[in-house]
């Protein structure tokens, strides 16, 4: 029997008084495309950031590929892992940010090769060839030597996706990847994500693009006030929601 790639168990996260995540448990299966929807402040972005350890959880545990994230159990206590070990765990996930966060002082190609050469210590020639192929895959072969400031938002986000893929992650995390884009640029980014989903990549996508969720997601998870309210097949959650809160959210956004 296959095991979940990500197992989230009773996770809680607070920002001061604010309870961002309350007792969240969830499995993500290999090859699955999961869309997380919900109002802002519902905890969906925080959940992604906890999986990538940009935020540390206050209770519970997250296992990625069978490995407990961020802490080690020893003598009935949990001990925080070193920065180096956390860095190694992060390599299993690729993160795409709402605001792209490309490195502005590096070209598109250099943005992609930075991680593999500097962090993984791989050969520059080999990495460059892979990066060129990734740029072709996201449709930006012609822009390899351009700086982020010379690219449109949609092009920047596609470079950011290529940068995350260059680390050969097992799981791709997308944090509202199209929310900062002009409407006419959303399609090109979603097209790259659809292609990625078809290629079998496991993906967790925080999004407001319900059309994308309906078309691509294997499962849609609706979150509200730090908890999972409803989840299931996209057609069920989006087409025939059972919970009142889901219905209210969907009628507000459509």
Partner 1 sequence: MKQAPALAQGFPDLSGMRIAREPHWFRWISAALIVLVLAAIARAFANGQIEWSYVSRFLTAKVILEGIVNTMVMAVLAMMLGIFLGIVVAIMRLSPNPVLKSVAAGYTWLFRGTPLILQLLLWFNLALVFPTIGIPGLWSARAVDVMTPFLAALLGLGINQGAYTSEVMRAGMLSVDIGQYEAAQAIGMGRLRALRRIVLPQAMRVVIPPLGNEFIGMVKATSLASVIQYPELLHNAENIYYANSRVIELLIVAGLWYLLAVSILTPLQMLLERRFARGTLRLAR
Q: Counting contacts by CB under 8 A, is residue 88 touching partner 1?
A: yes
Residue 92 and residue 171 in contact, taking contact as beta carbons nearer than 8 Å: yes
> Given the rule CB under 8 A, which of 25-33, 102-110, 194-202, 220-228 is the region that contacts partner 1?
102-110
Choose, by CB under 8 A, the member of 10, 25, 56, 150 that binds partner 1: 150
Binding-residue pattern over the window 115 to 134 for partner 1, x denoting contact by CB under 8 A: x--xxx--------------
Instruction: Report how far Cα 149 is from the mean position of its chain's Cα atoms.
Output: 24
In the list 13, 158, 163, 219, the residue contacting partner 1 (rule: CB under 8 A) is 163
List of E strands, 18-146? 18-28, 33-37, 59-64, 67-68, 71-74, 77-80, 93-96
Is the CB of 35 or the CB of 173 nearer to partner 1?
173
Among 63, 68, 144, 147, binds partner 1 (CB under 8 A): 147
User: What CA–CA distance (Å, rounded) separates 209 from 77?
Assistant: 42
Q: Phi/psi of residue 13, each to 5°?
A: -145, 125
The C-alpha atoms of residue 242 and residue 130 are separated, in whole angstroms, by: 45
Q: What are the residues binding partner 1 (CB under 8 A)? A: 52, 54, 83-84, 87-88, 90-91, 93-95, 97, 99, 101-107, 114-115, 118-120, 146-150, 160, 163-164, 167
């Amino acid at each position: 029997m296959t095991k979940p790639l990500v197992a989230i168990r009773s996770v809680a996260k607070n920002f001061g008084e604010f309870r961002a995540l309350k007792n969240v448990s969830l499995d993500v299966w290999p090859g699955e495309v999961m869309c997380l929807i919900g109002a802002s402040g519902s905890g969906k972005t925080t959940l992604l950031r906890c999986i990538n350890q940009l935020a540390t959880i206050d209770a519970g545990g997250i296992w990625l590929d069978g490995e407990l994230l961020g802490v080690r159990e020893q003598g009935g206590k949990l001990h925080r892992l070193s920065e180096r070990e956390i860095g190694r765990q992060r390599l299993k996930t690729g993160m795409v940010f709402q605001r792209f966060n490309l490195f502005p002082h590096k070209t598109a190609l250099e943005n992609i090769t930075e991680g593999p050469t500097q962090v993984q210590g791989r050969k520059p020639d080999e990495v460059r060839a892979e990066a060129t192929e990734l740029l072709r895959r996201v449709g930006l072969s012609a822009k390899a030597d351009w700086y982020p400031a010379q690219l449109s938002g949609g092009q920047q986000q596609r470079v950011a996706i290529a940068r995350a893929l260059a680390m050969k992650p097992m799981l791709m995390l997308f944090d509202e990847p199209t929310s900062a884009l002009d409407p006419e640029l959303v399609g090109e980014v979603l097209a790259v994500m659809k292609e990625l989903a078809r290629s079998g990549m496991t993906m967790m996508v925080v999004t407001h693009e319900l059309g994308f969720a309906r078309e691509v997601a294997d499962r849609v998870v609706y979150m509200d006030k730090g908890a999972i309210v409803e989840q299931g097949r996209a057609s069920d959650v989006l087409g025939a929601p059972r919970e009142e809160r889901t219905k209210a959210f969907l009628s507000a956004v459509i």
